[in-house]
Amino acid sequence: MLIDLHRHLEGTLRVATTVELAQRYGHPLATAADPESLLVAHGPLGGLVPYLDKVDAAPSAFRTAEDWHRAGREAVLDAAADGLGYLELRFSPWFIRQETGLAPEAVIDAVADGVAAASRETEMPVALIGILLRDLGPGQGDAQVSTLLSRRDTFCAVDLAGNEAGVPAAEFAPAFRRARDAGLHVTVHAGEAAGPESVRAAIEHLGAERIGHGVRSVEDPALLELLAARGITCEVALTSNLHTSVAASYATHPIKRLLAAGVPVALATDDPRTSGITLSGEYAAARAEAGLSAHDIQRIAAYAAKAAFTRGSQPSGLPLGGAVS
């Protein structure tokens, strides 16, 4: 069964839906000569920030709570159509507020309702992860956590995302302590745009149980030992890493080095619309392009099942607390 533990709602927004809403609201994308080129990466972009620009180009076209209900529903329908059996979907209510002016609580409720409707329709369990946006600064960390905790039962985990080269993770430690105290799991974006020191900081200061990307951990053998010893799973997105120029090719991607060091790896999509991919396609690329063996693929699938925040090692069971169904 396919399991995706790292998928951003903002990076799943369908091109067709985005353009439709842009035309409805008079959004600048409606008059773009080639809106798809602004929304989808078609090769290496030279860094994380240009990639995030494509992710961020779509959300401002979703102006109402009803639009975000639709976004949540379509994200789940697309995942189910690709054959997924379980999905953890993450988003930043405060980023969406920044782009649309909507109250973050209204965004959470709309997305959760849309996700729940599609989860019932497809019979695919889905859990939600709330993102704290690094770019808003640590001064807003507590307020962002307060928003998530106002809807505590909606979320299974909290994440820190945005430009890794920006504010140090340690400055968000108080906010993440509140999240952990409330019983939320922790995953943190690290080891993508920033080096292995960002992964270590995510573990030491934020209590990360999983690492979003984490591929630059291979630059520090001691860190690889730590990840393996603690069973901290790296959520690896092959094609996204090519688009952000973290890896030069599938063949030279660090995924095999992570596996060889005993680090748990879960294959993920990151932003399927932005990268123009599916999870089944990423598994195919892992075999055909990255050179992973059938045994490697089996290990990755097992790691993903074990690392799932709301379902533990039994992903075929019913969703537990924090899941939406």
Q: Structure pTM?
A: 0.94
Domain that holds residue 140: 2-324
pLDDT of residue 154: 98
pLDDT tens for the chain, 325 residues long, are 899 999 999 999 999 999 999 999 999 999 999 999 999 999 999 998 899 999 999 999 999 999 999 999 999 999 999 999 999 999 999 999 999 999 999 999 999 999 999 999 999 999 999 999 999 999 999 999 999 999 999 999 999 998 887 788 999 999 999 999 999 999 999 999 899 999 999 999 999 999 999 999 999 999 999 999 999 999 999 999 999 999 999 999 999 999 999 999 999 999 999 999 999 999 999 999 999 999 999 999 999 999 999 854 333 332 323 433 3
User: What is the number of structural domains in the chain?
Assistant: 1
pLDDT of residue 32: 96
3-state secondary structure of 185: strand
Residues composing the chain: 325
pLDDT of residue 325: 32
pLDDT of residue 166: 74
**Beta strands 126-133; 323-324: pairing state:** antiparallel
5: exposed, middle or buried (C-beta count within 10 Å: 0-12, 13-18, 19+)?
buried
Please answer whether residues 202 and 217 qualify as being in contact, where contact means their C-beta atoms are separated by less than 8 angstroms.
Answer: no
pLDDT of residue 167: 82
The kind and range of the H/E element at 300 are: helix 294-307
As annotated, the active-site residues are 192
For residue 47, the Cα-to-chain-centroid distance in whole angstroms is 17
Please answer whether residues 76 and 118 qualify as being in contact, where contact means their C-beta atoms are separated by less than 8 angstroms.
Answer: yes
Looking up residue 213, the CATH number of its domain turns out to be 3.20.20.140
Say how far apart CA 16 and CA 13 lie, in whole Å: 9
pLDDT of residue 311: 58
